[in-house]
């Protein structure tokens, strides 16, 4: 009789260990199933937020809001809420960079320096130009990137960049003068209509 009790206890101990293992495995499978169900939902929720942000910033950017234009360019650059579109990112960054936005100038420098395959042409001259514009306003990373490029450039390349810089400075200044004149004319018209 004693022998049967001992065998039965050993069986029960083994069964208990097996049951604990089975319960742990079931818990693991349950958790994996829960994660596999919840994770796509979370990804979809994040995607919805990105799409909403894209449409929000696009609407505001088209109305001329500079912060929205910058955020829209970032979304295009990173493919958040919209397919990645480097050409559109360059378009919006350029609008801002020409108005003196230092962060847009830096981002343009990066896009022109490191792009090529994804829509924006790789253009070291434009990269150097925009890095220089941002560096002139104290953008630390732009100074560093411009100096790295300068170390690798030949004298003829530096000459080409200086020529391009002069042309772009004139283009940007002419645009700014035209906008100032238009603003002056509009305000003069408004003051005449008030009288």
Lowest mean pLDDT: which of 116-130, 149-163, 164-178?
164-178
Separation of alpha carbons 147 and 135, rounded Å: 10
Domain borders along the chain are 2-153
Name the percent of the chain lying above pLDDT 90: 19
Cα 68 from Cα 87, distance rounded (Å): 17
Q: How confident is the model at residue 170 (pLDDT cuts 50, 70, 90)?
A: confident
**∠ CA 134-131-98 to the nearest 5 degrees?**
60
pLDDT grade, residue 115 (50/70/90)? confident
Q: Mean per-residue pLDDT for 20-46?
A: 61
Three-point CA angle 151, 154, 156, nearest 5°: 140
Indicate if the pLDDT at residue 62 is higher than 50: yes
- pTM of the full structure: 0.62
Whether the Cβ atoms of residue 72 and residue 99 lie closer than 8 Å to each other:
no
- SS3 percent helix, strand, coil of the chain, rounded to 5, is 85, 0, 15
Record the tokens describing residue 148, joined without a space: 């790295």
Average pLDDT of the residues in 36-41? 52
Res. 102 pLDDT band, cuts 50 70 90: very high
Q: Is 101 left (phi over 0), alpha (psi -120 to 50) or beta?
A: beta
Give the pLDDT mean for 148-175: 76
Confidence of residue 188 (pLDDT cuts 50, 70, 90): very low
d(CA 155, CA 52) in angstroms, rounded, equals 48
pLDDT at 181: 59
Half-sphere exposure of 63 (CA within 13 A, CB side): 9
DSSP 116: S
Average per-residue pLDDT in the chain? 76
CATH for 2-153, among 2.40.170.20, 1.25.40.10, 3.20.20.80, 3.30.470.20? 1.25.40.10
Q: 134's torsion region: left (phi>0), alpha (psi -120 to 50) or beta?
A: alpha
pLDDT at 40 over 90: no
Query: Higher pLDDT residue, 18 or 36?
Result: 18
Give pLDDT, residue 140: 92
């Amino acid at each position: 009789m004693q022998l049967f009790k001992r065998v039965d206890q050993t069986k029960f101990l083994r069964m208990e260990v097996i049951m604990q293992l089975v319960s742990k495995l079931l818990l693991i499978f349950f958790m994996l199933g829960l994660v596999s169900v919840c994770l796509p939902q979370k990804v979809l929720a994040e995607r919805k937020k990105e799409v909403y942000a894209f449409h929000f910033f696009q609407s505001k950017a088209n109305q001329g809001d500079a912060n929205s234009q910058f955020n829209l360019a970032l979304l295009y650059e990173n493919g958040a809420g919209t397919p990645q579109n480097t050409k559109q990112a360059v378009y919006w960054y350029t609008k801002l960079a020409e108005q003196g936005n230092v962060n847009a100038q830096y981002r343009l420098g990066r896009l022109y320096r490191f792009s090529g395959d994804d829509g924006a042409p790789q253009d070291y001259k434009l990269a150097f130009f925009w890095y220089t514009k941002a560096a002139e306003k104290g953008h630390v990373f732009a100074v560093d990137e411009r100096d790295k490029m300068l170390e690798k450039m030949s004298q003829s390349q530096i000459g080409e960049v200086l020529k391009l810089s002069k042309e772009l400075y004139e283009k940007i200044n002419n645009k700014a003068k035209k906008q100032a004149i238009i603003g002056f004319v509009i305000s003069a018209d408004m003051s005449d209509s008030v009288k």
